[in-house]
Amino acid sequence: MTAVPLLAQCLLSLAAFSCLCLATPRNARQLSHPRWRAPLYWGGWLLLGTAAITAVTTGGWGPGLAALFGALTLAAFIVIGLATYRPGGLVHLLVAGMIGGAWLLGKLLLSAAAPDFPY
């Protein structure tokens, strides 16, 4: 497995766990409007599913899922640490993870569609 799919999984996992953390009632009251709870909750699960699909398609069932669990563990520790000591940074982490993950997913899709194109 190359570094690009693993980095995409890490960024998508960071964004997903940030969404799920911001969707909790405590953080929704402090950091965002409570009406954002449902979209953040479903967006987090959608991002986790996207990371899982990326892992299985790029690495296969065995190595891909092992890499995904490593990325999920790293992302969970980062989000837990950030939510504990600086909860306002979760929004910034969410935005950075979404932008970086989307860019790397686009790069992966383009490389799958046109393997001879230099990136």
List, for residues 15-48, the tens digit of each pLDDT value: 999 999 988 888 777 776 778 888 999 999 999 9
* Res 43: pLDDT: 94
Q: What is the pTM of this model?
A: 0.88
CA distances (Å), 107 to each of 45, 54, 87, 103, 119, in order?
22, 12, 31, 6, 8
Give dist(CA 42, CA 10) in Å, integer: 19
Tens digits of residue pLDDT in 73-110: 999 999 999 988 888 888 889 899 999 999 998 888 88
Cβ pair 28, 34 in contact under 8 A: yes
